[in-house]
């Protein structure tokens, strides 16, 4: 008797956020010795801390700070990897105002220093997740600063990005795309 093969697409309906999917993927990469990638902690400005006797310090007042860098970084085959993850409910384009100027400057610096830099963009309504190289993003962002289009069309995303297939243990298998992208771009192009 054949056991029915589980359908990978059911995973996209579980209500998992992109961040949860990436965290799971990173755990898998770590456990299998493929790469060490961590989510950076949320930056918080701490204002007041209580130190109750015999128990842990309690933060009583703090504020969320705007992230000056990206969500994730780490090491893959000795190289520095840095990326941001974003979800949108839009169906036809990705709005560029999802990125802050200092995030864009950060990504530009990472490329300048030879790091691997990209964004993972999920169109949640379309159930489609893309690996999108930071150099393409920077091109669109600079163009928008000069009065150009304020979003990346789905068409550009399909042309310049790479769809990340949903898989069992690796929900967002971006290393696979890094390997592919660097081999087809001769290893010199900064993803």
Selection from 129, 125, 116, 131 nearest residue 188 by Cα: 116
Nearer to Mg ion, 77 or 102 (CB): 102
Task: Based on the shown chain and the rule CB under 8 A, indicate whether residue 44 belongs to the binding site for a copy of itself.
Answer: yes
58 binds a copy of itself (CB under 8 A): yes
Locate 122 and state its tokens.
Answer: 């999920």
Rounded to 10°, the helix 101-112/134-145 angle is: 130
**Residue 85 near which of a copy of itself, Mg ion, none (CB within 5-8 Å, type-dependent):** Mg ion
Q: Which residues contact 86 (CB under 8 A, 6 or more apart)?
A: 18, 94, 98, 99, 119, 120, 121, 122
Q: Which among 163, 186, 175 has a CA at the least distance from the CA of 81?
A: 175
Residue 42 near a copy of itself by CB under 8 A: yes
Contact criterion met (CB below 8 Å) for 141 and 104: yes
Interacting partner of 126 out of Mg ion, a copy of itself, none (Cβ under 5 to 8 A depending on kind):
none
Nearer to a copy of itself, 49 or 145 (CB): 49
According to the binding rule CB under 8 A, does residue 35 interact with a copy of itself?
yes
Exposed e or buried b per residue across 97-110, where buried means at least 16 C-beta atoms within 10 angstroms of its C-beta: ebbeeebbebbbeb
Return the residue of 27, 59, 92, 126 that touches a copy of itself, per CB under 8 A: 59
71 makes contact, choosing from a copy of itself, Mg ion, none, with CB < 5 to 8 Å by partner type, with Mg ion
Binding site residues, a copy of itself, CB under 8 A: 30, 33, 35-36, 38, 40-44, 46, 56-65, 69, 73-82, 106, 109-110, 112-115
């Amino acid at each position: 008797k054949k056991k029915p093969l589980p359908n990978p697409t059911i995973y996209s309906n579980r209500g998992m956020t992109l961040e949860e999917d990436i965290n799971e993927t990173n755990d898998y990469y770590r456990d299998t010795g493929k790469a060490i990638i961590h989510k950076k902690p949320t930056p918080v400005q701490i204002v007041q801390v209580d130190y109750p006797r015999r128990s842990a310090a309690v933060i009583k007042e703090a504020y969320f700070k705007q992230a000056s860098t990206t969500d994730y970084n780490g090491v893959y085959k000795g190289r520095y990897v840095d990326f941001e993850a974003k979800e949108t409910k839009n169906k036809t384009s990705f709005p560029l105002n999802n990125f802050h100027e200092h995030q864009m400057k950060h990504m530009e610096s990472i490329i300048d220093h030879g790091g691997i830099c990209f964004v993972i963009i999920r169109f949640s309504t379309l159930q489609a997740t893309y690996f999108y190289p930071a150099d393409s993003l920077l091109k669109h962002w600079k163009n928008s600063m000069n009065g150009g289009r304020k979003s990346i069309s789905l068409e550009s995303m399909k042309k310049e990005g790479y769809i990340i297939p949903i898989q069992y243990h690796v929900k967002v298998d971006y290393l696979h795309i890094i390997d592919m992208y660097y081999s087809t771009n001769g290893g010199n192009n900064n993803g």
